[in-house]
Amino acid sequence: MKNIRPRQDENAPKVYIETYGCQMNVNDSEVILSILQDEGYVLTDNMDEASLILVNTCSIRDNAEQRVWGRLEQFRLQKNRRPGVLVGIVGCMAERLKDKLLDSHAVDIVAGPDSYRMLPGLIRNVTPDSPQMDVALSHEETYADITPVRMDRNGVSAYISIMRGCNNVCSYCIVPYTRGVERSRDPQTIVREAEELFANGYREVSLLGQNVDSYLWKGASGNVDFAGLLAMVAGISPELRVRFSTSHPKDISDDVISTMAEYDNICKHIHLPVQSGSNAMLEKMRRKYSREWYLERVAKIRSVMPECGLSTDIIAGFCGETQQDHLDTLSLMEEVKFDYAFMFQYSERPGTLAARKYPDDVPADVKTSRLNEIIALQGRHSLESNGKDVGKTFRVLVEGTSKRNADELFGRTTANKVCVFPAGGHKAGDYVDVKVLSCTSATLIGECVTARDGR
C-alpha cells in the first residue's frame, strides 16, 4: 500500500488539496494524490507552501458551488503573492462549468472526474497564457489499478470506490451529467485493495457508489453482483468491518439484505435516500418507486435485521410541492423513524430534467420553513432512536480520540451510531464493547466494558 511519503526532499513540489462534497470525492482526492505522488509531489496541509492548489468540487447544490467561488478569491490572492502557483479545479464543478471556470482568471487547470490520469500532463503543459482543461467523460475509467493514498490519518477506516457514474435520471440531480454513465470496477481489484488495507491495520472499509445495488461485473468466469461483492469483501476477515453507500430503494434486493444478515462483519446500517414521502413528488423526481414500495423495503430490512440502522436523504420544496406533499414526507418519517437523515432544500441545477421541465416554484421562505419542520422532526426521532440504546452494550470500532475530550475515544456501532467513552487504555483500531449510559440526538455516551487485553 502506498502511504504519504515522508518529506525526504525539501525541494519536492508540494500539493495542497481541498475536498468538497461526498465520500466519493474524498476517495477521488486520494486517487489524485496517488497520481501526483508518482510525479514527485508531496502533500501539504499548508496552502502557503504549495506550488499546486487543487480543489475537488461538488455541484449537487448551488451553495456547494458558491463556497468554491468564494475560495477562488483566496487562491487569486495566493497567485498574486506567489507567481507561479498553479490552481486546479477538479471534480463535478469542473465537469459542469468547464471553460467558464477559466474565465475567472484564477484557475490554471480544469479536470473532470474521469480525467485525473491526465493531471500530470495538464500540469506540465500549463503556461500563464494557456490554461489546460480535460473534461472528457469515459465509459470505462474506474481507476481500478490506482492505489489511493489514504488521507484519513486515522488508519482504521477507508473508502473504496466500487463503481463510478450513475445511470439513473432523478430529475433534480446533476450527477449523471458530471460523472457520466455507470461502470463497475473489477471485483478482484476491490478485494485486493481491501486485503491490503486490512494487512496495513485498517479495520473497516466503506464500499462506495452512487447506486451500489446496481453494481455488476461481467467477468469471464461469471457475473458478480453487489450481494456477491459484499460476500467477497466480508470474507477477507471477520475482523474487517464492511459498510456501503448509497443504496437505491428501487434496487436494493433481498439478496443484499440476506447477505448482510449472514455476515456479522457487514455492518447493519443502510443509507436509503427516500427524498420525499409523496407519490406525486417521487413520480416527478423520477425515483421509480412509490411510498408504498419504500415502506415495504424498510419492513423487509427490519424483519430480517431488526437492529439495522436506517438513514436517509430528504429534499424539501421540490417543484410543485404542495403542503399535502410536505405532510406526506413528515408522515413517512413518522412511519419509518429514521436513525438520522441528511436534509436539504431543493436547489435547481441547470441542465437537469427538472430545471428544463418544472418551474422551481416553491417560495424560498416556504422551502425554509418546511425544511425546518423536517429537521425538527428528525431531531426528535434521532433522540428517540438513541434513547432506546441507553442501557444496551454495543461492539464499537475505535476510530480515534474524541474532538471534545482528549481522554475520550470515539467510534461507531454496527448501526453507524457515533459513540464516545473514556479511553481506558484502548486505541484506534481496537474493537471494544461499550455500554451506553446516556445520549444526545447525535451521539451515544458510554463506558467501555471490555478489559484492556480485549476480553
Where along the sequence are the contacts to ligand 5AD (CB under 6 A)?
Answer: 60-61, 172-173, 273, 275, 313, 315, 344, 346-347, 349
- Chain centroid, CA 426 distance in Å: 28
Residue of 14, 15, 17, 25 interacting with ligand SF4 (CB under 6 A): 25
* Residue 179 near which of ligand 5AD, ligand SF4, none (CB within 5-8 Å, type-dependent): ligand SF4
* Residue 347 near which of ligand 5AD, ligand SF4, none (CB within 5-8 Å, type-dependent): ligand 5AD
User: Which stretches does DSSP call E strand in 232-365?
Assistant: 241-245, 269-271, 309-316, 340-345
CB 30 within 8 A of CB 193: no
Residue of 14, 16, 17, 22 interacting with ligand SF4 (CB under 6 A): 22
* Residue 92 near which of ligand SF4, ligand 5AD, none (CB within 5-8 Å, type-dependent): ligand SF4
Sheet of 269-271: strands edge to edge? Answer: 269-271, 309-316, 340-345
Which residues have C-beta within 8 Å of that of residue 372, sequence separation ≥ 6? none
Q: Which residues, numbered 31-70, are part of the site for ligand SF4 (CB under 6 A)?
A: 58-60
User: Nine-digit cell at 258?
Assistant: 440476506
Q: Which residues, numbered 135-164, are part of the site for ligand SF4 (CB under 6 A)?
A: none
Q: Which residues, numbered 163-182, are part of the site for ligand SF4 (CB under 6 A)?
A: 174-175, 178-179
Residue 303, phi then psi, degrees to nearest 5 = -70, -35
Which is nearer to ligand 5AD, 297 or 349 (by Cβ)? 349
Residue of 14, 15, 16, 24 interacting with ligand SF4 (CB under 6 A): 24
d(CA 243, CA 373): 30
**Which burial class, exposed, middle or buried, applies to 48 when counting CB atoms under 10 A from its CB (0-12, 13-18, 19+)?**
exposed
* Residue 25 near which of ligand 5AD, ligand SF4, none (CB within 5-8 Å, type-dependent): ligand SF4
Selection from 156, 130, 120, 82 nearest residue 397 by Cα: 156
**Which burial class, exposed, middle or buried, applies to 440 when counting CB atoms under 10 A from its CB (0-12, 13-18, 19+)?**
middle
* Residue 59 near which of ligand 5AD, ligand SF4, none (CB within 5-8 Å, type-dependent): ligand SF4
Which is nearer to ligand SF4, 79 or 243 (by Cβ)? 243
Which is nearer to ligand 5AD, 184 or 275 (by Cβ)? 275
CB 93 within 8 A of CB 112: no
Q: How many CB atoms lie within 10 A of CB 196?
A: 14
Which is nearer to ligand SF4, 14 or 349 (by Cβ)? 349
- Closest approach of ligand SF4 to the CB of residue 25, in Å: 4
d(CA 21, CA 152): 15
- Closest approach of ligand 5AD to the CB of residue 346, in Å: 5
User: Nine-digit cell at 151?
Assistant: 488521507
CB 310 within 8 A of CB 336: yes
* Residue 317 near which of ligand 5AD, ligand SF4, none (CB within 5-8 Å, type-dependent): none
- Interface with ligand SF4: number of residues (CB under 6 A): 13
Give the interface with ligand SF4 as residue ranges (CB under 6 A): 21-22, 24-25, 58-60, 91-92, 174-175, 178-179
